[in-house]
Amino acid sequence: MRMHSVQSSRSSWSMPMQSHAQSPMQTTVADVISFDGIGLHSGRFVRVAIHPAAANTGILFRRIDVTESLQTIAAIPDNIRQARLCTRIVNDDGVGLETVEHIMAAFAGLGVDNAIVDIDGGEAPILDGSSLPVVEAINRVGIRQLGNRRRILVVTAPVSVEYGGGWAKLEPCDRLEIDAEIDFDDTAIGRQRFHYRHGVGTFERDLAAARTFCLMRDVAAMQNAGLALGGSLNNAVVVENGAILNEGGLRMEHEFVRHKILDCLGDLYLLGMTMHGRMTASRPGHAMCAKLIDTLWNSPACFQIIEDGAAAEHSDGYALPDVAAAAAV
């Protein structure tokens, strides 16, 4: 498994490594980024290319292994579908893509508003189990600022959901925050809590390197169900009877709950834009995040979308331009 930036005629030009998470202007990647790897659940080898995109494109995934007219899957609330142990998006033609959360978290964490992501399979590669390889690849080519102001979804009233013995709540806040707690019976994980406050450099510092994880006792059941077929100690933290099985142990304190927050951040970016609000959650997961996003999106009295200081109707945010025009930057 390897990851690299594509050589281009502009390879000598790049912006300094920096987060654009707090910029008022929309951004895109400065050049094409390519990487490959295996899908965590499918075990299949896939290739990915992230392309620059024009303002107001948003994040578009293209399944280049299917008919061209069916390829595009926009990262928006209406395309979220329930899936086991990952985030799944599906377009109106039924073409889907799984495990997009780590790429989406990297976009959210670095403040990338617009990109077209080509992939030649039905699941994004797991890489090392975190967002760090994607962050490093984006930082190598840089982030380019565009001429349009960023859209922000501002939570104006609380919404909450319950799912699978846990709960999650969104409340008004002047920035994005995620306060999450997990509780596992294996003592290597136990009860952990972390409060993430989104800002310049905080994603790289607090979340990007946190890896996905599982309990060894669950591996056989997952694989019998057709899941985790590409999982290994190279792309997940594996826990058994109070011990970390990975050589070198953990990368950081509370890596488990930090990864859960990374997943939440990536899932929330499926709102199609940056969110200002505080998410508080107990035992969060992808299905819970999907339910929370759906509840918020269908509660228009609980949020506003701000652009250039003015509120807009929430349905206006997803009038996507033609893909070919969006790529012409």
CA 44 from centroid of its chain's CA atoms:
20
The whole-angstrom separation of Cα 158 and Cα 278 is: 9
Instruction: Give the span between the Cα atoms of 77 and 294, in whole angstroms.
Output: 7
Query: Do 74 and 167 reside in the same domain of the chain?
Result: no
Residue 324 lies in a domain: no
Question: Quick one: 37 and 183 in the same domain?
Answer: no
Q: Answer yes or no: are the C-beta atoms of 276 and 199 closer than 8 Å.
A: no
Q: Assess whether 286 carries a catalytic annotation.
A: yes
**Residue 131 shares a structural domain with residue 204:** no
193-to-153, 170, 246 alpha-carbon distances in Å: 26, 17, 22
Q: What are phi and psi of 325, to 5 degrees?
A: -70, -35
Of 20, 102, 276, 286, catalytic = 286
Let me know: does 66 contact 27? Beta carbons within 8 Å.
no
322 belongs to a structural domain: no
Domain final residue, candidates 150, 185, 213: 150
Has residue 320 been placed in a domain? no
Question: Residue 87: which domain range?
Answer: 3-150
Residue from 28, 8, 12 nearest 20 by CA: 28
> In terms of domains, do 217 and 108 share one?
no
Domain-located, residue 172: yes
Q: Are residue 162 and residue 218 in the same domain, yes or no?
A: yes
Distance CA 127, CA 33 (A): 14
* pLDDT string in tens for the chain (329-residue length): 233 333 322 232 233 345 676 678 999 999 999 999 999 999 999 999 999 999 999 999 999 999 999 999 999 999 999 877 899 999 999 999 999 999 999 999 999 999 999 999 999 999 999 999 999 999 999 999 999 999 999 999 999 999 999 999 999 999 999 999 999 999 999 999 999 999 999 999 999 999 999 999 999 899 998 999 999 999 999 999 999 999 999 999 999 999 999 999 999 999 999 999 999 999 999 999 999 999 999 999 999 999 844 554 444 433 333 333 333 33
Domain assignment of residue 71, yes or no = yes
Strand partners of residue 74: 60
Instruction: Give domain status of residue 200, yes or no.
Output: yes
> Does a structural domain hold residue 56?
yes
Q: State the CATH number of the domain containing residue 257.
A: 3.30.1700.10
Which residues, 6+ apart, have CB-to-CB distance to 17 below 8 Å? 139, 142
- Looking at the fold, whether 84 and 215 belong to one and the same domain comes out as no
